[in-house]
Amino acid sequence: MTPSRSIWTRPLLGAVGLIVLFGAWEASIRLGWVPSGLLPAPSSLGPAWLEEVRSGAWIQAIRDSLTHYMMGLVIGSVLGMLTGLLCGTMPLLDGLLSGVVRVLRPIPGLAWVPFAILWFGLDTAGATFVIAISVFWINFYAAYGAVQAIDPDLYEVAASFGHGGFWARLRTVVIPASAPGVLAGLRTGLGQAWMSVVAAELFGVPGIGARMMQASSLLATDLVVVYMLTMALLYALTDTAFMLVRKRLLGWQG
pTM for the model: 0.82
Mean pLDDT of 188-214: 85
Say if CB 226 and CB 49 are below 8 A apart.
yes
Q: What is the mean pLDDT of residues 232-249?
A: 86
Query: In angstroms, rounded to a whole number, what is the distance separating the alpha carbons of residues 205 and 117?
Result: 10
Identify the domain containing residue 79 by its residue range.
45-248
Domain presence at residue 26:
no
Mean pLDDT of the chain: 84
Region 194-204: what's the mean pLDDT? Answer: 81
Q: Is residue 12 part of a domain?
A: no
Per-residue model confidence (pLDDT) at position 252: 60
Give the pLDDT band of residue 70 (cuts 50, 70, 90). very high
The model's pLDDT over 155-168, given as tens digits with 9 standing for 90+, comes to 777 777 776 677 87
- Mean pLDDT across 141-153: 86
Domain presence at residue 27:
no
**Whole-number pLDDT of residue 76:** 94
Whether 22 is covered by a domain: the verdict is no
Per the domain annotation, does 224 fall within a domain? yes
Cα-flanking dihedrals φ and ψ of residue 134, to 5°? -65, -35
C-alpha distances in Å from residue 129, one per residue of 71, 116, 134, 157: 9, 7, 9, 41
Is 193 contained in some domain? yes
Q: What's the number of domains the chain is made of?
A: 1
Contact, 190 vs 237, CB < 8 A? Answer: no
Residue 16 covered by a domain: no
Which of the pair, 203 or 225, is modelled with greater confidence? 225
Highest mean pLDDT among 23-27, 32-36, 155-159: 23-27
Cα–Cα distance measured from residue 209 to residue 199, given in angstroms and rounded to the nearest whole number: 7
- Asked if 137 and 80 count as a contact pair (C-beta separation under 8 A), the reply is yes
Whether 5 shows a pLDDT value over 60: the answer reads no
pLDDT at 163: 67
In a domain, 35, yes or no: no
State what percent of residues in the chain have pLDDT above 70. Answer: 94
pLDDT computed for residue 72 by the predictor: 92
- Other C-beta atoms closer than 10 Å to the C-beta of 57 total 16
pLDDT value for 253: 60
Residue 177 sits in a domain whose CATH number is: 1.10.3720.10
